[in-house]
Amino acid sequence: MNRKEGMEYLEKGSNDVKVLRSEIFFTPLLIFLPLFVSCFMIYDWFSRGFSLGISSFDTELILGVIILFGNIVFDIPFIKSLKTTFRKK
């Protein structure tokens, strides 16, 4: 490997570090915001829809469960990939 190829490798490596750093900074936002929204929607359904017997709040329950399920399905592999990335480095 000559010097020019080595410099290109360093530039690519620093870009990968920046991408990984941005993923780490956005991880709490990507994980906790949908969890908060879904829990709020389920709580709102329970407090207004179920407790008072208003059936128009059932859509909030459905949306809250969909957001919660989608978040769990997609966040578990995302966290596992971050863990494997840290173990490699």
- The confidence band for 13, taking pLDDT boundaries of 50, 70 and 90, is low
Q: Which two tokens stand for residue 35?
A: 């969890």
Whether this model's pTM surpasses 0.85 = no
Rounded-to-10 torsion of CA 34, 36, 41, 44: -170
- Given a cut of 90, whether residue 65 has pLDDT beyond it is yes
Residues with Cβ within 8 Å of 32's Cβ and at least 6 positions away in sequence, in order, are none
Residues 49 and 57 sit within 8 Å (Cβ to Cβ): yes
Q: Is 82 or 42 the better-scoring residue by pLDDT?
A: 42
- Given a cut of 70, whether residue 40 has pLDDT beyond it is yes
pLDDT at residue number 7: 45
Q: Comparing C-alpha atoms, which of 32, 34, 54 is closest to residue 44?
A: 54
Give percent of the chain above pLDDT 90.
36
pLDDT at residue number 89: 55
